Amino acid sequence: MDGINFIKHEVIYLLEKGLVSRNQPIFILLNYITTCEWVFVENELEERNFKFSDSIGDLISIEEWDNY
């Protein structure tokens, strides 16, 4: 599982548990991700041009396209 899919998987888990909602900003995830993991998450999000003010819904709705 690549980085962004791992992050999406973790966020979906938090959504299903009712701990976060789709309309909350990405930075709310700081409450649920350790400092060590956050560095990884931050790098993955920046590579995909996400801002911490973007919504969680935007994050989990991204799709990966294979280049053929």
Q: What is the pLDDT of residues 3-43, one digit of tens each?
A: 888 899 999 999 999 999 999 999 999 999 888 888 999 99
Between helices 35-47 and 3-16, what is the axis angle to 10°? 120
Is the pLDDT confidence value at 56 over 80? yes
Sequence spans of domains, the chain: 3-60
Give the residue ranges of DSSP H helices in the chain: 3-16, 35-47, 56-60
